């Protein structure tokens, strides 16, 4: 097959690994930077150019879209879709999963356990926070943050209000969540590919409360409970993701979904689990492509 990875940087670990495993399995692998694509709608016939070259030979795409370019990424994926190219990540699925509020709404609608969460759209909304979430501390999040950026711990109502006011002034909506203190600055990252759990690791923050590897957290292999396995698979399925990094936090109420990532990094999970995750992503792409055609 001709498989394109949508990625802005061909040197990053996950992109390199997927490309390498694709080649191992006999595919022609291409890296297309979605921010350098030209979308053309000509007489209703969709065409796509990458660096002035017409792209008309791709069978399947594996999008790896960063949070700061979700819109352009989604447009390029949608264009591939209209050209009849199979994508492991449909554009609508990317948009839903990328927005933390939207995805939590979809998950809670299907009775998936999540932390109690409030969406703040205007300063007056803060009046109900104590009623809904109990006393601070609370976690504040911007809807499209990633790698721990835009996740803030507010110890008091006054601190929360001033941060919320600042974010609203910057035209950013705010998600306010109960702080799961008992997780002790850890969470679990589960990698799900085509309905199968490939591995899981516990992430422990090196300082503060954010256990993102990008924030210096360390990963260690972890055994999931049956309930956690079900939770990760259910969340992935509901959001329609074929490749997902599911973040689970262990609370006094049981395990809860924090978020589901549509372009999970592979480095930490390949270091902490025996599975060749990149190879499994290629196999899943082959299987899903066959089912699509
Ligand atoms: N409600 C919460 N209670 C305790 N810790 C949290 C909570 N929400 C997030 N965290 C911590 O912050 C990290 C980043 O939050 P997350 O929602 O996953 O955003 P990001 O998309 O930036 O990774 C999590 O991995 C977790 O360690
Ligand atoms: Mg996260």
Domain holding 242: CATH number?
A: 3.30.470.20
Domain interval for residue 149: 116-179
Q: With cut-offs at 50, 70 and 90, classify the pLDDT of residue 19.
A: very high
Instruction: From the CA of 177, give the closest atom in ligand 1.
Output: 1
Residue 293 predicted with pLDDT over 90: no
Per-residue model confidence as pLDDT tens digits over 248-257: 999 999 999 9
Given 161, 179, 197, the domain boundary residue is 179
Question: Counting Cβ atoms within 10 Å, is residue 74 exposed (0-12), middle (13-18) or buried (19+)?
Answer: buried
- CATH number of the domain that residue 13 is part of: 3.40.50.20
Ligand 1 centroid – CA 147 distance (Å):
9
Start-to-end CA span in the chain (Å): 13
Q: Which ligand is nearest to the CA of 201?
A: 1
Task: Verify that 175 and 189 share a domain, yes or no.
Answer: no
User: What is the mean pLDDT of the segment spanning 39-47?
Assistant: 85
Report the DSSP pairing between strands 60-63 and 2-6.
parallel
Residue 146 predicted with pLDDT over 90: no
Least confident piece of the model among 198-202, 234-238, 267-271, 287-291: 267-271
Helix (H/G/I), strand (E/B), else coil: 45: strand
- CB-CB neighbours of 125 under 10 Å: 16
Q: Is residue 251 part of a domain?
A: yes
Ligand 1 pocket (Cβ < 6 Å) reads 115, 139, 141, 145-149, 151, 177, 179-180, 183, 187, 209-212, 247, 249, 258-259
Task: Verify that 166 and 250 share a domain, yes or no.
Answer: no
State the pLDDT at residue 127: 85
Q: Is residue 164 part of a domain?
A: yes
State the pLDDT at residue 41: 86
Instruction: From the CA of 212, give the closest atom in ligand 1.
Output: 25
Ligand 1 centroid – CA 84 distance (Å):
37
User: Which residues share a beta bridge with 3?
Assistant: 29, 60
User: What is the mean pLDDT of the segment spanning 155-182?
Assistant: 95
State the pLDDT at residue 29: 98
pTM of the model: 0.95
Given 158, 179, 200, the domain boundary residue is 179
Q: Which helix or strand (DSSP H or E) is residue 195 part of?
A: none
Of 103, 129, 212, the one to substitute when testing ligand 1's pocket (max ligand atoms within 8 A of C-beta) is 212
Residue 43 predicted with pLDDT over 80: no
Q: Is residue 103 part of a domain?
A: no
State the pLDDT at residue 125: 84
Ligand 2 centroid – CA 78 distance (Å):
25
User: What is the mean pLDDT of the segment spanning 216-233?
Assistant: 96
User: What is the mean pLDDT of the segment spanning 127-146?
Assistant: 92
**Dist CA 55 CA 37 (whole Å):** 9
Number of H helices, E strands in the chain: 9, 16
Per-residue model confidence as pLDDT tens digits over 247-282: 999 999 999 999 999 999 999 999 998 999 999 999
Non-local (6+) Cβ contacts of 237 within 8 A are 195
Query: What would you report as the CA-atom Rg of the chain, rounded to the nearest whole angstrom?
Result: 20
User: Which residues share a beta bridge with 204?
Assistant: 186, 218
For residue 39, give the nearest of 71, 1, 5, 2 by alpha carbon.
Answer: 71
State the pLDDT at residue 89: 98
Per-residue model confidence as pLDDT tens digits over 84-98: 999 999 999 999 999
CA–CA distance from 214 to each of 89, 219, 265 (Å)?
23, 11, 10
User: What is the mean pLDDT of the segment spanning 215-219?
Assistant: 93
pLDDT above 70 as % of the chain: 100
State the pLDDT at residue 124: 87
CA–CA distance from 121 to each of 38, 70, 134, 168 (Å)?
35, 21, 19, 7
Per-residue model confidence as pLDDT tens digits over 169-204: 999 999 999 999 999 999 999 999 999 999 999 999
* DSSP result, 209-251: S---GGGT-EEEE-PPPHHHHHHHHHHHHHHT-SEEEEEEEEE
Report the DSSP pairing between strands 254-261 and 196-204.
unpaired
Residue 44 predicted with pLDDT over 80: no
Which residue has the CA at smallest separation from atom 12 of ligand 1? 210
Q: Please state the domain count of the chain.
A: 3
Task: Verify that 156 and 188 share a domain, yes or no.
Answer: no
Q: Is residue 6 part of a domain?
A: yes
Task: Verify that 88 and 11 share a domain, yes or no.
Answer: yes
Instruction: From the CA of 115, give the closest atom in ligand 1.
Output: 1
Which residue has the CA at smallest separation from atom 11 of ligand 1? 210
């Amino acid at each position: 097959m001709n498989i394109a990875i949508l990625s802005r940087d061909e040197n990053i670990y996950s992109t390199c690994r997927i490309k390498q495993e694709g080649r191992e399995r006999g595919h022609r692998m291409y890296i297309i930077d979605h921010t350098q694509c030209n979308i053309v709608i000509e007489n209703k016939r969709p065409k796509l150019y990458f660096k002035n070259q017409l792209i008309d030979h791709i069978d399947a795409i594996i999008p790896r879209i960063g949070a700061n370019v979700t819109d352009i990424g989604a447009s390029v994926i949608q264009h591939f879709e209209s050209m009849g190219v199979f994508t492991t990540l449909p554009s609508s699925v990317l948009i839903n999963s990328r927005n933390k509020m939207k995805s939590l709404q979809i998950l809670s609608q299907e009775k998936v356990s999540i932390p109690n969460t409030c969406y703040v759209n205007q300063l007056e909304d803060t009046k109900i926070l104590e009623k809904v979430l109990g006393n601070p501390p609370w976690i504040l999040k911007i809807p499209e943050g990633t790698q721990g950026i835009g996740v803030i711990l507010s110890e008091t109502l006054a601190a929360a209000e001033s941060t919320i006011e600042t974010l609203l002034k910057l035209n950013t909506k705010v998600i306010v969540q109960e702080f799961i203190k008992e997780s002790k600055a850890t969470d679990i990252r589960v990698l799900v590919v085509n309905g199968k759990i490939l591995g899981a690791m516990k992430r422990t923050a090196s300082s503060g409360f954010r256990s993102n590897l990008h924030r210096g957290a360390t990963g260690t292999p972890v055994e999931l409970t049956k309930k956690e396995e079900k939770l990760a698979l259910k969340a992935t399925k509901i959001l329609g993701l074929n490749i997902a990094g599911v973040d689970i936090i262990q609370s006094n109420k049981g395990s809860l979904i924090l978020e589901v990532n549509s372009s999970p990094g592979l480095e930490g999970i390949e270091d902490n689990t025996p599975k060749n995750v990149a190879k499994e992503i290629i196999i899943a792409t082959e299987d899903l492509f066959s089912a699509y055609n």
